[in-house]
Structure 1
Amino acid sequence: MQRYRIDIEYDGTAYSGWQRQAGQHSVQAAIEQAILGFCGEDITLRGAGRTDAGVHATGQVAHFDLEKDWPGKTVRNAINAHLQMAGEQVAILQADMVPADFDARFSATARHYLYRIVNRRAPLALERERAWQVARPLDARAMHDAAQMLVGRHDFTTFRSVQCQAKSPLRTLDRLDVTAKGELIEIRASARSFLHNQVRSMVGTLKRVGEGAWEPEDVRAALEARDRKACGPVAPPDGLYLVRVDYPGT
């Protein structure tokens, strides 16, 4: 039995999310079907993170086991061929043989997300469903200052979906930076792990600061409230990307 790691890119627009669900079109199921078509093995793919419906990835990671040993390039190219034949918006960037104790989820030491906002009144043509269009002018510097209130180890109950299945709301947020270049505002978040909807909840709250409805200190107050009702509106999934997952030695 050989374990493989694959690095994955996908446009999440047409998918119900990463996780396989009965009667739904998921990224996990699309790749599992492609692997079945390639080698005839019915496998279960394990991902580093469960992105929601509409969320994209440029650096998702997953692992699976095959009975037969195949070169990594063969695995990558064969899966991609079957994904393309099925019309999937998914690409395998790399496939490598890894030790049997590698686990895409539990071996990860950090996950990095990017959220993209296009700050303009004109509708999106090229960026439609790949960024959040916000018409009202946003102050990215104020958003960045407010974001620093959330960096560190905190109880993130305020920024956690009521459907979150994590046992504890405690998380250590290593980075939450807001930068602007022209009409594009980028929010980058890094942590070992995130709660369900945490990044989108933080982004929606920071938007309130950017448009002048909240002061940066209001974000601290929302965090300390440990109350979902204190959170700003959850940002849409369109602008969120899982860009990288770190592992020991990488």
Structure 2
Amino acid sequence: MINYKLVLAYDGSKYNGFQRQSKHPEKTIQGKIEAVLSRLFEEEIQIIGSGRTDAGVHSHGQTCNFFSERSIPLDKISDYLFNYLPKDIAVVNLAIASPRFHSRYNVVKKCYVYALDNNKFADPFTLKYAYHVPEPLNITAMEEASKHLLGKHDFKSFTSLKSKTKSTVRTIYSINFAVSGSKIQITYEGDGFLQHMVRILTGTLVEVGLELKSPNEIPGILEALERAKAGATAPSHGLYMEKVFYD
């Protein structure tokens, strides 16, 4: 059994997220790739993703793996994917992985980037790829607020996850801001992220930047363990799965 590893970049604008859905698999990233690979390998291929991305979310580095008894040269697989995948899905890397490699279970760290456009008039060329906030943002206050989010916390206030059994404890290693003119990128690195967590963190930081919330409110929001205490969920189109790290 051969374990193939794929790293993908995609524009999520037209898709209902990464994970295959039973009703319309062709509207998901996973469904598109599995359909193409299944034709090439002449068997049903099921890929394993490092994590789900929501509808409209993009990726520069989604990592996947799949197993097959068939040995097909990597260049032939690459050419086939190039010819038959839609142009908004790209293969960044293709390799043979160790038999024990699992793209989800072996993750040690994930990096997400959220893009903001803070000009009064939205940049028409980034409307699909950045959240437009026309009011001025106080970046210093946002940075101050973000420091309270670092480390190991229960992030129940920052997820839409409804499960009562799944742990909502996660560790955020860093939150960094990069500002270039009106463009702001917030980079989050952590051991994992809950459903909508990065978008809710960003929405909360934006409210701090708009001075609707104080940086000093963040510890209380964490302690409350109530979704209603945090800020709005930022739109999906500004979010990117940037990179997945393994040992």
What TM-score range do you get, normalising by the shorter chain? Answer: over 0.9
Between the aligned partners of 1:181 and 1:190, the Cα distance in structure 2 is 21
1:98-151 CA distance string (max 9 Å, x none): 111000000111110000000012133110211100000001121111101000
Q: How many residues align?
A: 245
Match of residue 199 from structure 2: 200
Which secondary structure state, in structure 1, belongs to the residue aligned with residue 145 of structure 2? Answer: helix
CA RMSD of aligned residues (A): 1.4
Match of residue 121 from structure 1: 120
Which secondary structure state, in structure 2, belongs to the residue aligned with residue 109 of structure 1? Answer: strand
Contact 2:61 2:244 in 1 (8 A): yes
Q: TM-score, normalised by structure 2?
A: 0.95
Contact 1:114 1:186 in 2 (8 A): yes
Contact 2:113 2:239 in 1 (8 A): yes
Which secondary structure state, in structure 2, belongs to the residue aligned with residue 93 of structure 1? Answer: strand
Letter in 2 for 1:18: F
Match of residue 246 from structure 1: 245
Match of residue 6 from structure 2: 6
Contact 1:9 1:91 in 2 (8 A): yes
Offset of residue 77 of structure 1: 2.3
Between the aligned partners of 1:166 and 1:58, the Cα distance in structure 2 is 31
Between the aligned partners of 1:180 and 1:166, the Cα distance in structure 2 is 39
1:30-89 CA distance string (max 9 Å, x none): 000111222222111100010000000000000001221123232222222110xxx351
Segment drifting more, 65-74 vs 145-154: 65-74
Between the aligned partners of 2:220 and 2:15, the Cα distance in structure 1 is 36
Match of residue 184 from structure 2: 185
Between the aligned partners of 1:17 and 1:173, the Cα distance in structure 2 is 24
Offset of residue 164 of structure 1: 5.5
Letter in 1 for 2:7: D
Letter in 1 for 2:15: Y
Segment drifting more, 132-141 vs 31-40: 31-40
Q: Percent identity?
A: 32
Q: Unpaired segments of 5 or more residues in structure 2?
A: none
Q: Unpaired segments of 5 or more residues in structure 1?
A: none
Which secondary structure state, in structure 2, belongs to the residue aligned with residue 68 of structure 1? Answer: coil
Is 1:90 the counterpart of 2:89? The answer is yes
Offset of residue 246 of structure 1: 0.6
Match of residue 28 from structure 2: 26
Q: TM-score, normalised by structure 1?
A: 0.94
Offset of residue 165 of structure 1: 7.8
